[in-house]
Every structure is written in C-alpha cells, then in structure tokens.
Chains A and B, each alone.
Chain A
C-alpha cells in the first residue's frame, strides 16, 4: 500500500504520486476506507496528457490526504460493486473520457456531455431508467422543470401507492463544461467561473481555488485576508442555513418561520455585501488578496448588524422546535442510516445528521479555522429533523465564529498587495488538493500543473456530487409526498453537480 501523503492545500511533486497496478489500487482504496478515510475525488486525467486514474482520499483523523493512481488503458474494471463511493465518479469518468468501465452496476451518463472529440450534445435526460414491474406499481416523473422554477433536474419515482420503492435522480441539464475550460483560460476569468460553479457556494469554491493557487505559488496570505474570507464563508453558511430552514418550514405550510427566514437570509447576504459590494461574495476571494478588508468602522457595523440578525433568527427558528406539528412532520422523515451515509460517502450536514462527525474546518483546518475550531454538531437518526437541527446548531455556532474572527482582525496590519499575475508563478509539475467546508459540506479542488507551471488539470468536486445519491436513499420506503421536504433538507446544487 503506497500513496502520496498531502496536507490540505500543500502541494507536492506530481511524480511522487505512486502509480499502482489495478489490484493494488483497489486494495489501497478498500484498506483506506476501512480506516474510515473517504474517497474525496476519483478522476481520470485527460487522455492526451496522462493515461491514469487518480484517487484522492481524505483521512479525517490526522488531517492527511492521500493521492495515488493507476493506469487505465481505455478500459477499467469498475470499483463500484465493492466500493459504492466510486459509483458517481466512475460514471463521470466513463462519460467524460470515453473510458470503458466494465462491470459497473448502473453505468449511464450523468451530465450528457458530448462524446470525446464530438461537438453535438446528447439530449439531457434521454437514457434508460430503473424500472419496477408489477400491476400496482406506478411511475411518477418529476421535472426537469422544477415546480418552484429553481434549477432543472429529473426525478423518477417507482411507487407502490404512496410509498416510494425507488427514486432515480437524473441531472446534467446545467452542464457547462467548467472543468474542461478551466485550464485553458486566464486566471481572472477562471475566478469568475469558479465563483459560479455553484452560485450559492461562491466563497466555498473560490476559497478552495485560492488555497490551491497560493500553495502552488508559495504565496501565504496575511492573517487579515484569511480572516476576511473565513468570515465570508461563515456568512454564506448562515445565509443558506437560514434560507433553507425557512424553506423547509414553507414546504410543510408552517408560516411563522417561513414568513421571516427569507428576509433574514437577505439581511445576512447584505452583510456580505457590506464587505465587498456583492451579496453573494463575488470578487471577495482571490488568491493572495482581493483587496477587501474590514476596518474598525465596518467591523462595528457588522457586529451591530449581527446582533439584530441573531435575535431575528432565534425568534423565527426557535418556533420550529417549539411546535409539535412541525416536529411530528420532521421526525423520522427521510432517514439515512449511518451505515449508508458512510458507505456512499455522504458529506456535510447530511452526513453529520446521520452521525458521521466530519467537518473540514475541524479535520483539515484552513485559513482562520487553524486557530478557531467550530463546534461540529452530530445527530443520530439522519432524518429531516436531524438535518434541520444540525443546520440550526451550525448556524448558531457561525455567529460566534464570525464574532471571534472580527475580534481577531488587526487594524495595524499593512494592506496586502493584490497579485494579478499570481498564476504565472506556479511551481511546475505539482499536485495540490484543497479542501474547504462549504455550507453543503466538503469541497475538493485538485490542481495539477504541467512542466511550464500552467494548470494542466483542474478537478472540482462539489458536495452535491456525493450527496445526491443520499437523497435517493432517504426516499426509500418513504411517502412520495415527503419528497419536497427531504429534497429541501438536503438542498443540493444542480449546477455544482453538473459543472
């Protein structure tokens, strides 16, 4: 068993990544999984560059990241039958690189991208679906147009009466080819693209990108800059958790909470807006420095605003836990067992609700979290109620974190320089893996540079990529009418998955 050991966003030479025979490769993954490591990323390098498949595994106990690879020669025997976490990744590899994956239990496109070397896009959603036969079985297809006109995705339910036997989720309608173009475009444009990889996780994704570039260019950032982007990351978490808890209340027709959360989410977004002028934090995070800082005056303003927001959030969301009808609706709906959560590699609040204590801020600390440790709430049942509670505890903890970070800002520190040409200084032939904890969970960006110090491969894994299958599992043996609520409790990203 050999692998290259990395730390979060600390690069190492690519030639140190061991290339193993298929059997050893598979055995290594299995052994690491047994030690409770997770498969954070599994990707193939573009064929013209490198005929290898890379595995990135994270160890949550000692903050280590393991990278190793195997050769594929255009065919690859599927790992999925023994390693369910590889399921989605292998479908992605087969589709993107035209690699023949043999023995995969359910091989079909996930993004409906053009075949390698072709330009024509296949029709999204045009594929085979899992079928259940029987006289009283009925099939319900929802979407791709969402009833609330958010993002498109197709959901196909196999039902027996109201009971869902199986839900199949087919995405890909939002595929833009981000990973394909990222290595080819300039740094400034690349940032814009990563900001919108998943629009509601702008800070999470740009922080991961910045961490990678800073590591590769050996340009450590100032304490203040790290604090500012960690504050923004927490604000992003707060805004989304608040909005989603409100939306969950809305789904079950519970007005007292849903009437207020949308507005409060707006207030939190406005706080981000006070820092950089954009409510979603576009332009706030750039490698080295973005030039945005929080001075004493703004610091005071944000603190005052946080007090108001915290009071509002408390009064609106506490009602959820105080109302029996809401608890009755949330509890035991859409459970994912700890066993299943571990097996499919669930991340973020969904995993924590099921009892898996993983949080990159704690296990692989970055930026301000190297000094400030978050409280990581862990649930048991993995149901909607637990997911709501986990998110509520995180939301409350984020207020404290933001205040602590604001207190740590040092007004006397010199303004750091904005480096527009940072991407010209990247170390050649290196690999770097950056992990951040977005509000949905672990975000994993892997960067490999070529001999000229240009980015050769850029691989993004949004938490949604791990978690969509978790939603499908949550619906097993549930009522079909519980789907919208379960869906909202995960609130996964369509475009973050489709990229």
Chain B
C-alpha cells in the first residue's frame, strides 16, 4: 500500500459520477442536443442526499439497509481495483474473486430488497437481473482465466502489471475476443443499451431501474452513486487490461492516459447507445451467452497456443 494508491482511490471515488455524465453528453451530441451537464449526476446526488426518504408500507428493514450495503460493497470493491496504473490499495492473492463477489453482494441486496416490497414490477426486474448476471459471470471469469494463465498470478494488480504489450501484439485475436466479451459484461452489469435502457420510463421493460423504483432521496443517492462506481470499476478493468501502465514511468502521463482511456470507454458506450436499439428481452440471454462463447474461444486459443 503506497501513498499514491490511496490518493488515487479518493480520486476514483470522487470522479465516479463523471462517467454517466460523459455518456449522456455523447448521446446528446449524436442527438443534436446540448444535453445535461457532464456533472449533472453530482447535482442529482447532492439534491437527493438532502431529502428524506419515503418507504412503502410493505417494506421491511431490508429495504432500509440495502442501499448502504450496496454503496459500501461498491466502494470496497473499488479499493481492490488498480486505477491510474497504480497497484490497488489492498491487494492479495485472489483479490479479484473478492472484488467480483463484493459486487455480487451488492446485487444480492439490490435484488432481495426489490422482492421485499412485493411489487410485481420489482419482482420482474429482480428475476431479470439475477438471470443476466448469472449468465455474465462465466464469461467474466473465462476472460480473467486467460490473464491468470498468462501472468501466473491471482492478484489483480500483479496481473495488470505483468500483462505486457507483447502478449497482446502476439495474440490480437485473444485480445479482440476478451475485449468484446468484457465489454458486453460491462453493458450487462451497468444496465446500458442494448441490454437495458437507463432513460426509459416504461416499468415493464426495465431491468435495473425497475428494482429501485421504490427508492427515494438519500437511499436513491447511495444507489445512484454505487451504480456510477460500478461503471467506473468495469471501465477501469478494461483500461487496465488493455494498457500496461508500468512502462509509462511518468506519473503525469499515466494519469493522462488512464483518464483518456476512461473517457474513450464512456464515449464508446455513448456511441453504442446512440446508434443501436435495445435487444428484445428474450434474446438477451443469447447475447450474453454469446459473449461467454467468445471468452471461451479466447481461452482455447490461449491454451492451444501454449
């Protein structure tokens, strides 16, 4: 644990809500609109944080506890992810698995709290969320397995620092396949188009949004913040996997490249949202499993290559 890691964690915690702002700005650009400010989510979170929540009559204590658990699990997961090409604050063998299941813990609370209210809508959202994330898990780990195999390490910071540019240059197919499959996971886990539409007001089609319909004020602020961090985590994983920061010695340059990488991820998400329609719900499992197949093919290529 070094000082710069700790600083970068705070930077990440602060900068998280920028990404959705960048995505929305990109979408506005495509739509010929000015769009909301890049910092809009900060305003929203502060506005919500000042308000007193209301609860459904059928809600138990679980509904009240869940937002805190969701936010804390995202924050804790963030401390395990290397950002700005620096080792993560806490790192140890197997930290990647803890990270994945910390996010899983957050999801567990999100889903059970959604069921807690007994609303038909939220129940549907919960069932969709669980199905899709269960399908997304294997492809996430299949991609990870390749990197573990290559670097011989189970520690995320070490994996990222050991992944050299050479490996990707020699195996562009593997890079392409993992990138595609992890990007799909990013879209699934963060409820973006073509899986889910964060802007829709139609409860029947929602996945993530419908589970938080009953949340308001402070609780909603926590959940919105946790969602932004989750997007940050997945984006950071993709940037960290692609670029080996160890070879960049200048810290200022590291920061600049990492920031640019994150912005590009947001821009790509925004572009996808601007030019494609949502997939029919019945096809989403196929889409996710398809991304898993890509990761498995990459894994086979890697194993066969050795």
Contact = CB atoms under 8 A, between A and B. Distances in A.
A147 interface: yes
B275 interface: yes
Interface string B113-129: 00000001101100100
Contact of A255 (B120, B274, B281): B274
Contact of B203 (A138, A142, A161, A479): A142
Given A323-B275, A484-B202, 5 more contacts: A251-B205, A252-B277, A328-B277, A481-B204, A483-B204
Contacts of A333: 280
Contact of A328 (B32, B197, B280): B280
Nearest to B203: A147
A374 interface: no
Interface residues of A, number: 31
Contacts of B199: 253
Interface of B: 27, 30-33, 120-121, 123-124, 127, 193-194, 197, 199-205, 273-283
Contacts of A141: 120
A139 B119 CA distance: 10
Contact of B200 (A138, A139, A142, A253): A253
Contacts of A140: 120-121, 124, 204
A325 B193 CA distance: 11
Given A138-B120, A147-B203, A251-B205, A325 B31 contact: no
Interface in A192-251: 249, 251
26 contacts: A138-B123, A139-B120, A140-B124, A141-B120, A142-B203, A147-B203, A162-B282, A251-B200, A253-B193, A253-B197, A253-B199, A253-B276, A253-B278, A255-B30, A255-B31, A255-B274, A256-B31, A259-B31, A260-B32, A323-B277, A325-B276, A328-B279, A480-B204, A481-B281, A483-B204, A484-B202
A325 B282 CA distance: 14
A252 B121 CA distance: 18
Contacts of A138: 120, 123
B280 A249 contact: no
Interface string A114-147: 0000000000000000000000001111100001
Contacts of B201: 147-148
Given A253-B200, A480-B204, A484-B204, A325 B123 contact: no
A306 interface: no
A370 interface: no
A138 B121 CA distance: 11
Contacts of B273: 253, 255
A227 B168 CA distance: 69
B32 A249 contact: no
Contact of A251 (B194, B202, B203, B275): B202
A254 interface: yes
B274 to A, nearest CB: 5
A482 interface: yes
B279 A325 contact: yes
Q: Which 7 A-B pairs have the closest CB atoms?
A: A259-B31, A254-B277, A253-B197, A484-B202, A252-B277, A140-B120, A481-B281
Contact of A484 (B194, B205, B276, B279): B205
B123 A326 contact: no
B280 A254 contact: no
A156 to B, nearest CB: 10
B124 A480 contact: yes
A329 interface: yes
Given A140-B120, A480-B124, A249 B277 contact: yes
A329 B279 contact: yes
A255 B279 contact: no
A328 B281 CA distance: 11
B204 A142 contact: yes
A254 B277 CA distance: 4
Contacts of B193: 253
A162 B32 contact: no
Residue from B33, B202, B204, B281 whose CB has the most chain A CB atoms within 10 Å: B204
A332 to B, nearest CB: 9
Contacts of A260: 31-32
Contacts of A328: 277, 279-280, 283
A461 B62 CA distance: 51
A259 B33 contact: yes
B277 A329 contact: yes
A323 B194 CA distance: 13
Contacts of B27: 255
Nearest to A147: B201
Contacts of B124: 140, 162, 480
B7 to A, nearest CB: 38
Interface in A249-271: 249, 251-256, 259-260
Given A138-B120, A140-B120, A329 B278 contact: yes
A142 B208 CA distance: 18
Contacts of B274: 255-256
A259 B283 CA distance: 26
Contacts of A249: 277
A134 B193 CA distance: 34
